[in-house]
Structure 1
């Protein structure tokens, strides 16, 4: 893979603007993506929302402190034309209109918790049920709907922080979380999460960006070439709750150990019960990377644009979701409807419903301990 290279200029460092509050100062009200910063200025839950911009000579990332969301992500295609490769909206009101996950930080616990309950030190914890009889992505007051405090120090780094009060969505403990977004010199967006709690609790964070590397959400991703560095996955029941089993991917549609078009993997068994349960892929893979940030966890490549996204993480799992529930009822940037299979999500994580699966890697955070998780989205041309 040919990686794009760049160097920070001394001038950029010398003129970097230090932001000590959520208010981002900028000399231009527009970014390359044509997003209007003014359209992200609002008062939500009593706090101010804003649009922040990270950029280098080849990439630009728009992030709002509402839900810690990646709003836009511009990368050059094989013709050196910038493409926005994430789904999202061009104003804060569309994010507020209907609960959604586009580009958001998922917490306190990403993914599903069966029946919205789990036992912690003998106590039954009850989480808001916001997915039928189950809880998903932190419950009804999950962090995707909260406003973070922003601190942008330069063009390459953004810090977001949030204090989650004891009892929020039913979770115990006051939790302080910090997220650092860094646009690196090898054209990657690195996300570092840290958190601490004053009570024993559970934490499992991820970013829920919907990627379409063709730059057009009307193009389905089933023609993209996917690699997942995992010999096993966790099957689900008809309500998308993990059964507790860990099974081999060999000879199933879930085998992406060799890069393959997503639609060709499906053809191995298009009648698979697992595919039918969720109308495509919405499953957790058990990574073989053993937490090594230098070992690719997954990659996806668009033959249309030539853009390849490689994911690195220190997490034990990754959720691959092929936007099975999008139905064109919502329209995003440039008024383009979101269609079924019009994106792919690559969510680094501990396994779903882990609080109810004692044999799986734990997400318990004790007082005095520090939670840390890293996800790297690296872009290049192939």
Structure 2
């Protein structure tokens, strides 16, 4: 939103951003909305609070389309914040991270940052071991989305990405619709259109610690992934092009097990290459949103997260590069494996692997993707 907006409009937006609470009121998760009000690249940032009748709360900032906090009840009925993040916009700006972000234009990695469209080679930025990761160093996690708070449970974010944004072709309009449902689910719908042939692959990059205490590693969390195959990576975290079975390997989560059970078995090359789990699983769900793609449970809190998606893949990343140098909300230091990310997606480097599901978006077409994070409690 431009700064020329009338003062009355700004005031109204601030009140809406805080769900009609005074702007000094803290959220249930303890966030101060005032600390999220600033201007980045001539656009206003805010904190938006979604609440349902069950008492669940989700706080989102339009800086990077980031989920900042998720408050859900544990097995004792105590509300817990189950995602990592920062408690001010200054930290999101000054400390590079993907915490909670709406990633674009292309989630995950593109080999050497190169794509070919209609015979033309396009060089994208290289920002991760010689590859383009999460849209490049100026990806959408560092941009301001236009925000439209629809009601107390719904927020629509829009990102207008110009032709040549991080060298991606096409003027692209992308939307992220967050809907907090009455059964404690966050339903995220992505859509995009373009005026020139391009690629698109969006995801949410929330770092989950379902215990509510990210000072403790999430390696005790019990994980199920509905996938018989995964895509291996080399030592630069780039997919090799293979699709291989998980059976009889540490990559097998078809039977639920603790995240940390096999994570340090570095004699298995994939865990060494990934510094733990940082891989794409090929889902068995075949795009069926009614079939669970992944399930994560904290044995401490009893909080369970189920993931549903129409995407063909899910990236499981176990916070391997958190190293204690970042301090998050409430002054908690984020150490290695303090979280688990479950990023629904097309496979990494799909533009360079034509045998995999396509990520190409043509003018006149609409990209659509959906991810549902559903929370419940195991007693």
Match of 1:24 in 2: 17
State the Cα distance separating 1:270 from its structure 2 match: 4.5
1:87 paired residue among 84, 107, 113: 84
Matched, 1:285 2:281: yes
Match of 2:337 in 1: 341
Query: Residues 124 and 372 from structure 1, CA distance in 2 versus in 1: closer, same or farther, beyond 3 angstroms?
Result: same
Match of 2:3 in 1: none
Match of 2:38 in 1: 42
State the Cα distance separating 1:21 from its structure 2 match: 9.1
**Pairwise mapping of residues 164-183 of structure 1 onto structure 2 (< 5 A)?**
164-183=161-180
Match of 2:247 in 1: 250
Contact 2:15 2:21 in 1 (8 A): no
Matched, 1:380 2:373: no
Matched, 1:306 2:302: yes
* Root-mean-square deviation over aligned CA pairs: 1.4
Distance (whole Å) between structure 2 residues aligned to residue 323 and residue 61 of structure 1 = 22
Match of 2:320 in 1: 324
SS in 2 for 1:348: strand
Match of 1:296 in 2: 292
Please give the per-residue CA displacement for 1:69-110, whole angstroms capped at 9, x wherever unaligned. 000000000010000000000000000113210000110000
Match of 1:12 in 2: none
Match of 1:216 in 2: 213
Q: Displaced runs of 4+ in structure 1, greater than 3 A?
A: 19-23
Distance (whole Å) between structure 1 residues aligned to residue 96 and residue 260 of structure 2 = 29
Contact 1:22 1:49 in 2 (8 A): no
Contact 1:22 1:149 in 2 (8 A): no
State the Cα distance separating 1:223 from its structure 2 match: 1.0
1:132 paired residue among 112, 129, 134: 129
Contact 2:228 2:284 in 1 (8 A): yes
What runs of 5+ residues in structure 2 fail to find an aligned partner? 1-11
Please give the per-residue CA displacement for 1:248-269, whole angstroms capped at 9, x wherever unaligned. 00000110011111222447x5
Distance (whole Å) between structure 1 residues aligned to residue 97 and residue 329 of structure 2 = 15
Contact 2:231 2:239 in 1 (8 A): yes
Please give the per-residue CA displacement for 1:112-161, whole angstroms capped at 9, x wherever unaligned. 01111111110001111111311100012211011011111211100100
Contact 2:170 2:198 in 1 (8 A): yes
Contact 2:263 2:277 in 1 (8 A): no
TM-score, reference length from structure 2 = 0.94
Distance (whole Å) between structure 1 residues aligned to residue 114 and residue 107 of structure 2 = 14
What runs of 5+ residues in structure 1 fail to find an aligned partner? 1-18
SS in 2 for 1:223: coil
Contact 2:16 2:149 in 1 (8 A): no
**Pairwise mapping of residues 216-235 of structure 1 onto structure 2 (< 5 A)?**
216-235=213-232
